Amino acid sequence: MSAHSHDDVRKHLKLYIGVFLALLVGTAITVYAWTWHFESVAVTVAVALFIACIKAFLVAGYFMHLMSERKTIYAILLTTVFFFAGLMYLIVWSRDEMPRGTYWHDHGPASAVKSIQ
């Protein structure tokens, strides 16, 4: 939001308070969801990160004004997203390149022993 007029800001005040309340509710839901104890670790992680992503979207979109920014900022962020995605892909890439004696949890110790042999 690079060119806010006084009136624009005044209009947005209620929105900011709404986002603040939504963030508090999001936090409460995250903690409540933690008590559900899903059988699957993947589901637990997905639920927690999904709520975190919504909260991050609210902070970045409204408090950091990314909903109405200039193209320059979007270009910077797009580059960041590209490199961040690459960084995260390195984890997937390293899946079969774990250090000797360690293993991915879902493989189990048996496969670790096998890989050492």
Residues that bind another protein (CB under 8 A): 2-4, 6, 9-10, 12-13, 16-17, 19-20, 23-24, 27, 30-31, 34, 37, 44-45, 48-49, 51-52, 55-56, 59-60, 63-64, 70-73, 76-77, 79-80, 83-84, 87-88, 90-91, 94, 98-99, 102-106, 109
- 41-66 burial, b for 16+ CB within 10 Å, e for fewer? eeeeeebeeebeeebeebeeebeeee
Residues 5 and 11: their CA atoms lie apart, in Å, by 10
Residue placing its CB nearer to another protein in the complex, 106 or 117? 106
